Structure 1
Amino acid sequence: MNARITQATLLDESNEHHGNQVDIRIENGIITEIASSLDPKNGEEQLQFENLIVSAGWFDSSVSIGEPGYEERETILNGLKVAAKSGFTSIAVNPNTLPVTDTNAAVSFLKNKAAGNAVALYPIGALTRNAEGTDLAELYDMQQAGAVAFGDYQHSISNPNLIKIALQYAQGFDGLVLSFPQENDLIIKGVANEGETAIKLGLKGIPALSEHIQVARDLYILEYTGGKLHIPTISTAQSVALIKEAKAKGLDVTCSVAIANLFYTEEVLEDFDTRYKVLPPLRTETDRQALIAAIKEGTIDMVTSDHNPLDIELKKLEFDHAKFGTIAQEATLGALLTLVSEERAVKLLTAGSERFTGTTSKIKIGQPANLSLFTANGTSVFGKEDIRSKSKNSAFLGAQLKGKVYGIFANNQFIAS
C-alpha cells in the first residue's frame, strides 16, 4: 500500500523530527520519506486527520481472546480488529484459552490464525501445565513456536520452588517469566479490596497484603536466581515501592498496571456493578495516586488494557459469583490521556514491545511503517457504540475520556478506527 500521512506531529525520540509536524510517505509498507511537506504522488492514499499525532505502534502486554474454546467471548480475528481500532499494532495474548496455551502446537495455532493481519499477535505461553501451578509447561518448545513470555494468567504460583526453577531454566533461552502478584491463601473467596468499602458492602476482601507478599517473595527469588521477571498488573503503593527498590538493586524486573486500576478506585463498587469486578481489585485512592506517580516516573514500565472479554452470563450475576474482568482496549488511550501527557502515554504504550519481543518499533526511513495514529485533543463520553468487542463487559461505559484513536498503519495495511 502507498500512502502519505500529512500534517502529523511525530512523537519518536529516536527521530530528528520528534515533536515537529511532518508528512510521512509510505511505499509498499516501507517509510521512504519524512519531511515538513511532501508533494503527492499518483496512486498514493492521503491520510489526513485533525490534530494528528503519529507514534511508533503500540504494544498491549495483556490481552485475552476466547479462541480456542471460548469463541462466544471473542475470536482471534475480531480481537485483532478491536486492537487495531484501539490503536495497537501488537498484542501479547494470554494463555487462558481452552485448551490452555501450554504446548508448541497451541502456540502455533494462535500464530497461524493471526498471520497476515495488520496487528501482530504474540502468544504468552502458560508457565505451568494447564495453568494448574503444579508442573512447568514446555517452555522452550513454546518459545521455539513463537511464545514471547510465560505466565499463568490471573493464577499465582503458590510453590516458590516453581518460580525459582522457571527463572533458572528460562535463562537458557533468554525467556521472560511472568508471575501474577497474589498470594492465594490470603484471599480465600475475596472479591473486592479489603477495606472500609468491602466491609460496608458486605463483600469478602482481597487484602493488599496478598499482593505485597507475593511481589516481595518473587523479587527475593529473582535476586537469588537471576533471570528476567515481569510482574503484571500491580495495584498497590507498596508494590510500587518494592519494585522500585528491586530496580535500584539492578534486578532485571519490569511491571505493568491495568488501565482500570489507574482510572478507578473501590468506591465505584457501591452499586455492586460487576463491570468493576476486576483482578487485582480496584484499590484505594492512595494506591491509585501511587500508581499514577509510578507511571510518570518510570517505576511502572508499561500500561496494559488487561482486556478480558466475558459474555453476559459470566458478568450479569450477583457480585460474589460474577467472573473477574473487563474489556478496556477501546478506552485505554482515552483514559490514559486524562492522567499523563501524550508523550508519556506513547512511552507507556510502546515499552512492552522491547521487553516481550526484544524489538522496538522506530519511525525511520527504510523501515516498515508500524504506526499508531491518534489525537490528544477533545473529550468524549465512552458509550456502547464505542465497544468493538464481541463481549460488552466494559468498566468504562459513561467515563469521560480524552483524545481519539484514528487507526493504525502496520503490515502494509491501514486500519481506520
Structure 2
Amino acid sequence: MNFLLKAATVIDPSSPFHHQTVDILIENGIIKDIDALLEVSENVEEIKLHNLHVSKGWFDSSVSYGEPGYEERETIENGLFVAAKSGFTGIALNPNTLPITDTSASVGFLKGKSSQNAVSLYPIGALTVKSEGVDLAELYDMQQAGAIAFGDYKKAIQNPNLLKIALLYAQNFDGLVLSYPQDNNIAGKGMVHEEEQSTLLGLKGIPALAEELQISRDLFLLEYTGGKLHIPTISTAKSVQLIREAKAKGLQVTCSVSAHHLYLTDQELSSFDTNYKVLPPLRTQKDIEALLEGIKDGTIDMVTSDHQPIDIEHKKVEFDNAKYGTIGLESTFGILNSILSLEQTINVLTSGRDVFKVENLSIDKGNKANLSLFNPKGTTTFSLDHVLSTSKNSAFLGKEITGNVYGVISNGKGII
C-alpha cells in the first residue's frame, strides 16, 4: 500500500524534520518524499487526520497474549491488531505460553504466526527450561531462530549461580538476559505492597525489600560476570537508586517500568478490584515520584504496558484467588501523555528498540516507514469502549487519559 500523510507534525529528534508539519509520501513501505506540500497521485491513499502527529514506531518490551495454550485470553492475531491500534509497531512477546517458549521451534512458531503483519513480533525466549528456574534453556538456538532476549516472565531466578552462568554464557553471542526483581523468600505469600494500606485491608504484603534485595544481588553478579542485564518492571524508589548507581559504575544494566506503576498507587486497592492485582504490586506516591525522576534522568530506559490479558474466570473472583495482571496496550500512550511531556512520552515508547537491538530508523527520506500516528491533544475517560483486547482486565477503566492514537504504518501496511 502507498500512503500520503497530510499535515503531519513530526516528533523525532533524530529526524531533520523534527517539529515540522509536513506531508509524508510512503511507497512500498519506504518514505519516498517529505515536503511542506505534496500532491496526491494515483494508487496512493491520502490520510488526513485532525492534529496528526507522527513519531518513530513505538516498541513495547513486555507484552503477553496467550497463544499458544491460552487463546481464550488473547490470540496473536487480535493481539497484534490491538498493538497496532494502540500505536505500537513492535512488541516483545513474553514466554508465558503453553508450552513455554523455551526452544527454537517455539520461537519459530511465533515468528511464523506473526509474519506479514504491520506489527513486528519479537519473541523473548525463556531463560530456563519450562521457566522452572532449574536448567538453562537453549539460548543460542533460540536467538538464531529470532529471540531477542531471555527471561522467565514474572518468575525470579532464585539460584544466583544459574544467573551467573547465564550472564557468562550469553556474552558469547551478545545475548540480553532478563531477571525479574523479586526475592520470593521475602515476598512469601504476599499479594500487595506491604505498608499501611495492606494492613488496613487485611491483605498479605510484599515489601519493597523483596524487589531491592534481588536487584542488589543481580547487580553484584553482573559486576562479577560482565554481560548485559535487563531488569523488567521495577517499582520502588530504592530500585531506581540502585540502578542509577550501577550505571554510574559503567555496568551494562537497563530497566523498564510499567505505565501503571507510574500512575496508580496502592490506595486503589481499597475497592478490592482485582484489576489492581498486579506484579510487582502497586506501590506508593513516593515510589511514583522516584520512578518519574528515574525516567527524566535516564536511569529508567523505557516504559512498558506490561500488557497481560486475563480471562474473566480468573479475574472476577475473590482477591486472594485472582491472577495477577492488567492489560495496558490501549491505555499506555494516553496515560504517559498525561504525566510526561510529549517528547518524554515518545522517547520512553521508542528507546527500548536500541536496548533490545531491533530496527530503529528515523523519519527521513529513503528509510523504511515505521510510524506511529496520534493526536496528543484532548482528554477523555478510558472506558470499555477503548478496550480492543479479548480480555477486559484493565486497571485504567474510569481514569482520565490525554490524546488518542490513530494507528500505525509499518512493514508496508497501514492500520488506522
Q: Could you say which TM-score interval applies, normalised by the shorter chain?
A: over 0.9
Aligned to 1:63: 63
Aligned to 1:260: 260
SS at match of 1:31: strand
Aligned to 1:43: 43
Aligned to 2:52: 52
> Residues of 2 paired with 1:349 and 1:125: CA distance?
22
> Residues of 1 paired with 2:294 and 2:50: CA distance?
31
Aligned to 1:244: 244
> Residues of 1 paired with 2:10 and 2:295: CA distance?
22
How far is 1:43 from its partner?
2.1
SS at match of 1:275: helix
Aligned ranges 1:325-336 → 2 under 5 Å: 325-336=325-336
Dislocated runs of 4+, deviation >3 Å: none
How far is 1:95 from its partner?
0.2
**1:356-398 deviation per Cα after TM superposition (whole angstroms, max 9, x unaligned):** 1343122121111000000110000011111000001010110
Aligned to 1:154: 154
How far is 1:229 from its partner?
0.5
Aligned to 1:362: 362
Aligned ranges 1:26-175 → 2 under 5 Å: 26-175=26-175
Aligned to 2:276: 276
Letter aligned with residue 221 of structure 1: L
> Residues of 2 paired with 1:31 and 1:212: CA distance?
45
Q: Given that residues 85 and 408 in structure 2 are in contact (C-alpha distance below 8 angstroms), is that contact kept between their aligned partners in structure 1?
A: yes
> Residues of 1 paired with 2:225 and 2:98: CA distance?
32
Q: Quickly say closer, same or farther: Cα 1:116–1:358, change in 2 above 3 A.
A: closer
**1:68-106 deviation per Cα after TM superposition (whole angstroms, max 9, x unaligned):** 000000001001001000000000000000000000110
How far is 1:325 from its partner?
0.1
> Residues of 1 paired with 2:49 and 2:217: CA distance?
49
How far is 1:137 from its partner?
0.5
Aligned ranges 1:185-264 → 2 under 5 Å: 185-264=185-264
SS at match of 1:34: strand
How far is 1:414 from its partner?
0.8
How far is 1:341 from its partner?
1.1
Query: CA RMSD of the aligned region, Å?
Result: 0.7
Q: Given that residues 17 and 364 in structure 2 are in contact (C-alpha distance below 8 angstroms), is that contact kept between their aligned partners in structure 1?
A: no
> Residues of 2 paired with 1:153 and 1:40: CA distance?
47
> Residues of 2 paired with 1:344 and 1:285: CA distance?
20
Q: Given that residues 296 and 340 in structure 1 are in contact (C-alpha distance below 8 angstroms), is that contact kept between their aligned partners in structure 2?
A: no
How far is 1:26 from its partner?
0.5
Aligned ranges 1:6-21 → 2 under 5 Å: 6-21=6-21
> Residues of 2 paired with 1:396 and 1:403: CA distance?
15
Aligned to 2:408: 408
Q: Given that residues 235 and 287 in structure 2 are in contact (C-alpha distance below 8 angstroms), is that contact kept between their aligned partners in structure 1?
A: yes
Q: Given that residues 16 and 364 in structure 2 are in contact (C-alpha distance below 8 angstroms), is that contact kept between their aligned partners in structure 1?
A: no
How far is 1:323 from its partner?
0.6
Aligned ranges 1:241-390 → 2 under 5 Å: 241-390=241-390
SS at match of 1:338: helix
Letter aligned with residue 411 of structure 2: N
> Residues of 2 paired with 1:317 and 1:117: CA distance?
36
> Residues of 1 paired with 2:296 and 2:340: CA distance?
7
> Residues of 2 paired with 1:43 and 1:60: CA distance?
32
> Residues of 1 paired with 2:361 and 2:271: CA distance?
43
SS at match of 1:313: helix
Letter aligned with residue 20 of structure 1: Q
Aligned to 2:3: 3
Letter aligned with residue 18 of structure 1: H
Q: Given that residues 59 and 350 in structure 2 are in contact (C-alpha distance below 8 angstroms), is that contact kept between their aligned partners in structure 1?
A: yes
Letter aligned with residue 386 of structure 1: H
Q: Given that residues 82 and 330 in structure 1 are in contact (C-alpha distance below 8 angstroms), is that contact kept between their aligned partners in structure 2?
A: yes
How far is 1:345 from its partner?
0.7
Q: Given that residues 114 and 120 in structure 2 are in contact (C-alpha distance below 8 angstroms), is that contact kept between their aligned partners in structure 1?
A: yes
Q: Given that residues 104 and 138 in structure 1 are in contact (C-alpha distance below 8 angstroms), is that contact kept between their aligned partners in structure 2?
A: yes
SS at match of 1:32: strand
Letter aligned with residue 21 of structure 2: Q
How far is 1:153 from its partner?
0.2
Gaps of 5+ in 2: none
